[in-house]
Structure 1
Amino acid sequence: MKLKIGLLAAVSALGCVTTAVAQVDPATPQSSQVKPGPAAVGASPPAGAVSEVVVTAQRLNAARLAIEPSLGASTYTVNNAAIQALPGGDDQPLNDVILQLPGVVQDSFGQFHVRDDHNGIQYRINGTILPEGISVFGQTLSPRLVDSLSLITGALPAQYGLETAGIIDVTTKSGLKNGGAISLYGGSHGTYEPSLVYGGSGGGTNFFVSAEFKRTQLGIESPDGSSTPDHDRADEGNVFVYADHILTQQDRVSFIGGYSDDRFQIPDTPGLGPANGFAVGSVTDYPSTLLNETQRETTGFAIGSWLHDQGPFTVQTSVFSRYSTLDFRPSPVGDLLYTGIAQNAFKRDVALGVQTEGVYRVTPAHTLRGGIIIQGDRGTSDTVSQVLPVLPDGTTGTTPVLIADNGGKTEYTYSVYLQDEWKLLSKLTLNYGLRGDDVNGYRDEKQLSPRVNLVWLPTPQTTLHAGYARYFNPPPFELVGTETVSKFQNTTGASTLTQDTTPFAERQQYYDIGGEQKLLDRRLTLGVDVFYRQSHNLIDEGQFGAPIILTPFNYLRGIIFGQEFTANYTQGPLSAYFSFTHQRAQGKDIDSSQFSFDPAELAYIARNYIYLDHDQTYTGSAGATYLIRDGVIGGTRFGFDLLYGSGLRRDQTAADGTDIPNGDHVASYLTANLTASHHFDLPLTGVVDVRVDVVNVGDKLYEIRDGTGVGVGAPQFGARRGVFGGITKSF
């Protein structure tokens, strides 16, 4: 049973607790569990044939979901209707949707953190892994393609590995009903966003496509708190394609593809000037408003899958690939004067893999699941840096010199797992398994990882769970630095330290316990979840240098723990939700990528546990929506959402003058967003939807980062008040 709790819509759910048993009862034939859906508007087949296609498609979807239910993990799900009801709807970035889920912390550059882990996010589309890319700002996936989205976290079953802080599991729209929509959205910060979606079905083939383009003058967070910063334009475009074809009642093939091309200006902070005393030729002054740094990110992915469902046995085999690039262009003279280095950085990553997973219902009490995943990954890095020479007498030259530093590496990953869902009693399920991972890249590391989860339903309204997982998390291969530190000696680009240990894989012991209770005839759901994690070689990431490229490093020891509380209420046209999380993340002794750090900082961390830079002690979200169903304004929906954060970490100076890395935090904040929409269905115009959204209603000025902290590059402020409107015409 996957719990799905209402989020901003009476028809949807934003969840609180756990998956108690498999989504599809293995003791019951799947064909008897799927009710016929609405008939698709097929162009040529007779109505009966179309209905049969729809029913077969739904049954195969259920069979695919049964391969990898998140038994015992904490699962929070939101569907497309709920996304539409959020301020911004389909026009907001996907990460803004995810920020409303429990335990998710907002960061700069559009990043988010799940349960105080810096990265560790794995995306899956229709059950298939989407390899990591190297984008920083760009959003590869759009809410428009989402039929439902789940965040799966906690003590995960054995099918999930390598990135385990959170699984973003996306089920795409499939086009079972012909139709589409064209939309135009825009408003503050010079924002406009046209988009198009269309889906259809004919014979045994279904398809769905979406395309969008967004231009805004607030592409990256403001570095000075201004509403629309200088030099901050972003142009973002992406397309998505889904198609499947039913071969027989038991077999289906499908294709998923997408491409995004995102271009960003790096915003300038007015009123600054060079302070290092450098000169480039005769130039010593350079107003900060003339800086012209840019970054372009592209990503393309393709997934081909074959699904076979034969009675008690279901298997899906997928071939997946992903291509991504990041191209940073400096402001040559300005960067040299401000930082002593102007670096053209180009990174490319190409991944290709195969994933085969299956489920076998052995008996009503035992369901076996297993899989094999093999992936190859080729990463290259080409950089050309302009630096100033440091002369023998200690002075700095004025004629730039070029340093080329290129590198590349190939990584192979092999994973295999087997697990058994054992129904000890009708209301007590034990899911236990073993996973093995072998990663051969910058390092050759491997691990066997046991997993166990126990789920108990003492009453129909109560679910309890407890779990343990051993995790193996290699550093993000595409981000591991390849810089040759020695090439920069005796230049303004030199590092104080030359030690550069290659990052290690993180190894975790993870414990999770929680429960949920339904009250008021299931209209109210309350949940709690407690987690504790011990890490060896805990992975963190930071921005070191002008290119907005994150570099992984390790803390030798790490501890992360926390508690999540959730509540959801749905009654008729009213839906409301609330979540609150307390968590803490600390690490000690940096043992890789040491050249990125100041020696005093490194020495302090070697002796003391410090908070991780992305740690936020308290995080909360809430929202509600009300749909007016009848009367003159019937079809009108009003809603709001809130986001609270106690503040990410910043450096602190103690009373004795000691600098404590990440010893303090920026100020807390609470922001509110409003939305209003109306659905028209008129004889002349057809179906038209209009909406108005107000972001940060109170125009709250708040810092996400203040420019200090381990691996923090520059200050960033949250978006100021913005008013946006949109119109969508369905056809």
Structure 2
Amino acid sequence: MLKRRMLAASSAASLLLCGPVCAQAPAAAPPPAPAPAIAPAASPPSSAGGTAIALPTIEITAPKRLQPLHHPHIRVATRRRQPPTAPPPQTPEKRVAGANERFDEARRAMVAPAGANSYQLTQQALEALPQGTNTPLDKALLQVPGVSQDAAASGQLHVRNEHANLQYRINGIMLPDGVGAFGQIIDTGIVGSLALITGALPAQYGLRTAGVLDIQTKTDAFNNSGSVGVYGGSHGTIATSAEYGGTVGQTQYYVSGRYFGSSVGLENPTPAYNAIHDNTSQEKGFLYLSTVLDPTSRLTLISGIANGAYEIPNNPGQTPVYTPFGITSFDSALLNERQRELNQFNVLAYQKSAGD
């Protein structure tokens, strides 16, 4: 009995000693962290000696601070204005070419085919022919509507069923009238473009009522360059050509030459593959000079030459029309008739522009 009371008094004394200390005001707690995660508190052991039950984890999230509205920054791209690029300075060759082009335009306007029909063949069209620029000029003209060819022995063309009566012009300058023959005086290789003008021709074209063949030389003929070509085929056909053009000072020049040879110069009168006595050799030359004297005047020289040698083809078994000296059995296959053609032309033209 005495032992229990002493234990009780000890317990009371412990409570009294703890009382003043526990009665003190608690110190101020520090502010909580922004978002701490509180670990689960351990439960005190049960007085009955049972197992402690863990409390659930409580997560405390700090309130998010309101962010200001974000407005995207718009960038305006500006480009500094560059001064206009100055054109490259013209070379002397281009200045001379521009001056000659103005003279050519003025000449074309002066002889414009008002009220007439014009059919044009460009350089690309001529190069697309089977023989290209090796095609004789009369054969190239057969591509134009209304043009037909006479027999090869005459070397003439029919324009709208008219015989001959065709005028030739080079860069607007009329060539002198020539005598029709087997060969062609003008080489197709110098042609940049050609136009056949037919119909009601103005008075400046003269009496050539069949048509006017207006030839323009190559536009790239004066760029200080040239070319050499070789062409060949059956019947011993061989053709060589050379051309060169350029600009010196105020003068443009262009020169060309061609040789042609074949064992079928005219036409074969027999059905045999090889003709009898029908060889030909032809040479052609062409020269064009144009000098700008001043901004309003120009001097032009056009010169050409064409030499052709032809054998007249034989047709065996023909009966002689004449029997001189009583000879009636002459073999027509042994005839030796030939024809040689020499053609030359020179034209000097002065062009002057007055006023506007």
Check whether TM > 0.5.
yes
* Map of 1:619 onto structure 2: none
Name the aligned partner's letter for residue 57 of structure 1.
Answer: N
1:193 aligns with 2:239: yes
Name the aligned partner's letter for residue 171 of structure 2.
Answer: N
1:173 aligns with 2:218: yes
1:237 aligns with 2:283: yes
1:104 aligns with 2:143: no
Match of 2:306 among 231, 247, 260: 260
* Map of 1:280 onto structure 2: 324
Name the aligned partner's letter for residue 151 of structure 1.
Answer: L
* Map of 2:46 onto structure 1: none
Query: Alpha carbon RMSD of aligned pairs, Å?
Result: 1.8
* Map of 2:341 onto structure 1: 297
Mark the CA change 1:183 to 1:48 in structure 2 (over 3 Å): closer, same or farther.
closer
- Please list, as runs of the form range in 1=range in 2, the aligned pairs for 1:640-659 lying within 5 A after superposition: none
Q: Deviations over 1:425-444 (max 9, x none)?
A: xxxxxxxxxxxxxxxxxxxx
* Map of 1:160 onto structure 2: 205
State the secondary structure of the residue aligned to 1:206: strand
Specify the structure having the higher radius of gyration (Cα).
Answer: 2
1:270 aligns with 2:316: yes
Q: Is the 8 A contact 2:156 2:163 kept in 1?
A: no
The separation in 1 between residues aligned to 2:246 and 2:223, in whole angstroms, is: 6
1:142 aligns with 2:187: yes
Match of 2:251 among 178, 182, 205: 205
Unaligned runs of 5+ in 1: 1-38, 40-45, 313-731
Name the aligned partner's letter for residue 88 of structure 1.
Answer: Q
The separation in 2 between residues aligned to 1:211 and 1:247, in whole angstroms, is: 28
- Please list, as runs of the form range in 1=range in 2, the aligned pairs for 1:266-665 lying within 5 A after superposition: 266-274=312-320, 276=321, 278-281=322-325, 283-312=327-356
Name the aligned partner's letter for residue 254 of structure 1.
Answer: T
The separation in 2 between residues aligned to 1:81 and 1:67, in whole angstroms, is: 27
Kindly indicate which of the two structures has a greater share of residues assigned to strand.
1
Task: Using structure 1 for the length normalisation, give the TM-score.
Answer: 0.35
Task: Using structure 2 for the length normalisation, give the TM-score.
Answer: 0.71
Q: Deviations over 1:606-634 (max 9, x none)?
A: xxxxxxxxxxxxxxxxxxxxxxxxxxxxx
State the secondary structure of the residue aligned to 1:259: strand
Q: Is the 8 A contact 2:115 2:200 kept in 1?
A: yes
* Map of 1:219 onto structure 2: 265
Shift of 1:311: 4.3
Shift of 1:117: 0.5
Q: Is the 8 A contact 1:135 1:298 kept in 2?
A: no
Match of 2:172 among 127, 136, 158: 127
Q: Deviations over 1:490-520 (max 9, x none)?
A: xxxxxxxxxxxxxxxxxxxxxxxxxxxxxxx
State the secondary structure of the residue aligned to 1:83: helix
The separation in 2 between residues aligned to 1:50 and 1:207, in whole angstroms, is: 12
Shift of 1:248: 1.4
The separation in 2 between residues aligned to 1:131 and 1:78, in whole angstroms, is: 23
- Please list, as runs of the form range in 1=range in 2, the aligned pairs for 1:13-52 lying within 5 A after superposition: 47-52=90-95
Q: Deviations over 1:18-51 (max 9, x none)?
A: xxxxxxxxxxxxxxxxxxxxx9xxxxxx854333
State the secondary structure of the residue aligned to 1:136: coil
Shift of 1:180: 0.7
Name the aligned partner's letter for residue 98 of structure 1.
Answer: L
Superposed structure 1 runs of 4+ greater than 6 Å apart: none
The separation in 1 between residues aligned to 2:157 and 2:167, in whole angstroms, is: 13
State the secondary structure of the residue aligned to 1:139: coil
Q: Is the 8 A contact 2:147 2:158 kept in 1?
A: yes
| Higher relative contact order, structure no. (Cα contacts within 8 Å, ≥ 6 residues apart) | 1
Match of 1:56 among 84, 88, 99: 99
Shift of 1:225: 3.9
The separation in 2 between residues aligned to 1:49 and 1:261, in whole angstroms, is: 37
State the secondary structure of the residue aligned to 2:95: helix
Shift of 1:60: 1.4
Name the aligned partner's letter for residue 194 of structure 1.
Answer: T
Q: Deviations over 1:405-424 (max 9, x none)?
A: xxxxxxxxxxxxxxxxxxxx
Q: Is the 8 A contact 2:229 2:242 kept in 1?
A: yes
Shift of 1:176: 2.7
1:91 aligns with 2:134: yes
Q: Is the 8 A contact 1:108 1:221 kept in 2?
A: no
State the secondary structure of the residue aligned to 2:162: coil
Name the aligned partner's letter for residue 149 of structure 1.
Answer: L
Q: Is the 8 A contact 1:135 1:297 kept in 2?
A: no
Unaligned runs of 5+ in 2: 1-87
Kindly indicate which of the two structures has a greater share of residues assigned to helix.
2
Q: Deviations over 1:213-235 (max 9, x none)?
A: 11111111222344431101111
Name the aligned partner's letter for residue 170 of structure 1.
Answer: I
Q: Is the 8 A contact 1:76 1:150 kept in 2?
A: yes
State the secondary structure of the residue aligned to 2:325: coil
Q: How many residues align?
A: 266
Shift of 1:134: 1.9
The separation in 2 between residues aligned to 1:76 and 1:228, in whole angstroms, is: 37
Name the aligned partner's letter for residue 91 of structure 1.
Answer: N
* Map of 2:114 onto structure 1: 71
* Map of 1:338 onto structure 2: none
State the secondary structure of the residue aligned to 2:203: coil
Mark the CA change 1:217 to 1:256 in structure 2 (over 3 Å): closer, same or farther.
same
Name the aligned partner's letter for residue 260 of structure 2.
Answer: K
Q: Is the 8 A contact 1:260 1:299 kept in 2?
A: yes
The separation in 1 between residues aligned to 2:114 and 2:242, in whole angstroms, is: 37
State the secondary structure of the residue aligned to 1:108: coil
Shift of 1:282: 5.0
Mark the CA change 1:305 to 1:226 in structure 2 (over 3 Å): closer, same or farther.
same
Name the aligned partner's letter for residue 290 of structure 1.
Answer: L
Name the aligned partner's letter for residue 293 of structure 1.
Answer: E
